Amino acid sequence: MENYSFQTSKQREIVVITDQVKKIVKKSGVKEGLCFVFNPHTTAGMTINSYLDPASLQDMIEEFDRLIPTRTDFHHVYDTPSDASGHIKTSLAGSSITVIIHEGELVLGHSQGLLFWEFDGPRDRKVHIKIISS
């Protein structure tokens, strides 16, 4: 298992981690298999989506905020006002992604990227990457 650590810079943002995960896949030497990317944080999510137009990332952030706004009337407000909404957003977005490895490369569509979704930053973050050969 490999770890990729980084720091988010905003309260809510999407960090494209595709290149970092691709480097770990290449370093593994695995030609055929699966790549699991797991996020161990309860106020951040993972998804695969288009990253080519930064406006689409902003749309995703704003739409999630519209659906689950930061409020102070949640039953659970532990750390920050966005803590409880971050937990809900993480449950909806998910905490992990799985990508097929074929011929030593991640199998992704033309505009797809691996996206780490910060819901309660800025914070020190990391993801765990596990590569399985098939």
pLDDT in tens, 13-64: 999 999 999 999 999 999 999 999 999 999 999 999 999 998 999 999 999 9
Domain count, the chain: 1
CA distance 70 to 27: 40
The string of pLDDT tens digits covering residues 92-131 is 999 999 999 999 999 999 999 999 999 999 999 999 999 9
The predicted structure's pLDDT at residue 66: 96
Could you tell me the two tokens for 109? 């569509």
Domain, as residue range, for 44 = 2-133
Contact 113, 50 (CB under 8 A): yes
Q: Under a CB-based contact definition with an 8 Å cutoff, are residues 120 and 80 in contact?
A: yes
> CATH no. for residue 78?
2.60.120.460
Q: Quick one: tokens of 81?
A: 């006002």
Q: How many other CB atoms are there within 10 angstroms of residue 102's CB atom?
A: 11
